Amino acid sequence: MADGFELFTDRSVVAMRVNGELKDLATTVTDADVVEPVTIDSPDGLSILRHSTAHVLAQAVQAINPEAKLGIGPPVTDGFYYDFDVAQPFTPEDLKALDKEMARIVRSGQRFMRRVVTDDEARAELASEPYKLELIGLKGSAGHGEGTGDDHESVEVGAGELTIYDNVDPKTGETVWKDLCRGPHLPNTRMIGNGWALMRVAAAYWRGSEKNPQLQRIYGTAWPTKDELRAYQHRLEEAARRDHRKLGAELDLFSFPEEIGSGLPVFHPKGGVIKREMEDYVRRRHIEEGFQYVSTPHITKSGVFETSGHLPYYADTMFPPMELENSEYYLKAMNCPMQNLIYRSRGRSYRELPLRFFEFGTVYRYEKSGVVQGLTRVRGLTQDDSHSYVTAEQAPGEVKHLLNFVLSLLRDFGLDDFYLELSTRDADSDKFKGSDEQWDVATNVLREVAEESGLELVADPGGAAFYGPKISVQARDAIGRTWQMSTIQYDFNQPEGFGLEYTAADGTHQQPVMIHSAKFGSIERFFGVLTEHYAGAFPVWLAPVQVVGIPVADEYAPYLGAIVEQLKGAGVRAELDTSDDRMQKKIRTHTTQKVPFQLIAGENDRSAETVSFRFRDGTQENGVPIADAIAKVREAIADHRQVTTRDDLFA
């Protein structure tokens, strides 16, 4: 018999796994137990660090404001939060005071001590905490006091024993604070160190429901060291600089007029250029990959979504139905049911399979206003949506074809760091339709193709759609953030629901497999991701203005204007700046607008029939013959090249 303190002398070990379950280091284990150390820099260790820091925050809040009532305080990606019911919202001055009190608690080295309690004991000890009492009443559902999840997760009390964690003063042995929690926690507050910070305050409904009271949520972050905290803060600053909402306004790409409504963007002329280039490219690629272009309407009768199975599963994220001519109509929330009707419009033969349909289908989803975020979470989105109808034998080859297509397309847009996520069903949930055998076959097809790709494969249990498993491509951007991009989904349910058939070689009628795929995911979201990936400095082929001509003086405008016209004739998006601004201000303006090429001409260039290049980083290449200059620009466009410096074009 021993505990974790005796087993592990490495000070980076903050918890342990005992027979696969996370436990405090104070837990007693036997020789028969399988015990593994959990270090503070591991994913589990970081969650424990952040969870413990959330408890210190809650203790600090109640030390300063004893009337504050506790909600929940889980770790989340890169940090933590805790919800409080307080009379007045927190102010920046409040956060400063909390920061000081938290630092005191951390230095004091209070021990986190776990106790098992009965429901009645917990109610007695936490009688003044109404939200904790509610959690105790929810015992039996998923979760326990607190847990991990995103900002919108409602974390509840789980089945099994209830536990309270006491914060114990190491000098007196007295409990100075307590909270209902399943743990585990760090051994003591001193191990939190100085790599933490409070970030911001937001409002949040209790357990994520608008029917419940609105609480005050404090967000924070915690890292093993101060250096890691600073690195994270630097990443946040870089992310803020790249924020597509900020750049969208600065570069005049898109906006979100309040008159139209939340989550419904409009694209301005410059943004429209980028969007058109994206659409033209992906349309051409689909045709090259054997897809046929189709189009479906924006509304449909409710029966279509009942047949597909999307009602009632997705009813909460669909706009309310409209009554028209004694029928109920919905705004389209997904394209697949209508493409099924195109397939079913006439008899199909095995000779036609794989049959591949593709459309730019605009769909509408009722996202809550609190989760709408720029272009990356909208209510109106256009998907480059495709559906392949194949025989069961063709399914593995089609999935492989689609995955290769997706990866090549993303690489053409400058994203080339990927891993894959395999979303499967939760066997205990009644959300998923179909037999065990169908799910096993579909999951194995996706898993084998994903593994064959050689990319890292991460499991996502329970994340599948109701109709089948999926592979999602996760792409890392220029600053290392991960974005879910394309998806490939294996569907055996909708073909059955719509009665889809094909005539096999032996004359029998067989049911096809349907494979969903969206390469961008949505054009709006992909646009936002690209904007942040490139920090608004798009590759030449996507840039709204590819070349701007800047004469040294007005007398050289006709000479440079003729070159601009030649560029336009060659299909280049080129402009001549004839404003009254001085040359240096023109250069600053177009550098700020992230135009790839500025062509400058004065007397030397006019006399020699040349032009001078200025690049985004301020480097230059002077005296380039006009024909060579046009050829270089066209070459950069054709190659989908990112050009920032002189060496990117003239190396």
Active-site residue list: 336, 365, 383, 385, 387, 470, 516
What does the alpha-carbon distance between residue 76 and residue 150 come to, in Å, rounded to a whole number?
6
- Cα–Cα distances (Å) from 181 to 158, 365, 452, 639, in that order, read 10, 36, 42, 56
Do residues 440 and 446 make contact, with C-beta atoms less than 8 angstroms apart?
no
Write the DSSP assignment of 91-126 as a string of letters. Answer: -HHHHHHHHHHHHHHHHHT-EEEEEEE-HHHHHHHT
**β-strand 597-601 against 547-551: which pairing, if any?**
parallel
51 is in an annotated binding site: no
Tokens representing 354 are 């794989």
End-to-end CA distance of the chain: 68
Tokens representing 250 are 């600065």
**Own/partner pairs, 39-46, CB within 8 angstroms, 24+ separation:** 39/10, 39/12, 39/13, 39/14, 40/12, 40/13, 40/14, 40/191, 40/224, 41/12, 41/224, 44/15, 44/17, 45/12, 45/14, 45/15, 45/224, 46/75, 46/222, 46/223, 46/224
3-state SS assignment for residue 483:
strand
What does the alpha-carbon distance between residue 101 and residue 552 come to, in Å, rounded to a whole number?
61
Beta bridge mates, 76: 79
336 is in an annotated binding site: yes
What does the alpha-carbon distance between residue 151 and residue 205 come to, in Å, rounded to a whole number?
11
- Cα–Cα distances (Å) from 514 to 141, 357, 551, in that order, read 35, 11, 58
**Which residues have a Cβ under 8 Å from the Cβ of 502 and sit 6 or more positions away?**
348, 349, 350, 352, 353, 389, 391, 509, 510, 512
What does the alpha-carbon distance between residue 386 and residue 296 come to, in Å, rounded to a whole number?
12
387 is in an annotated binding site: yes
Binding residues for Zn(2+): 336, 387, 516
Binding residues: 336, 387, 516
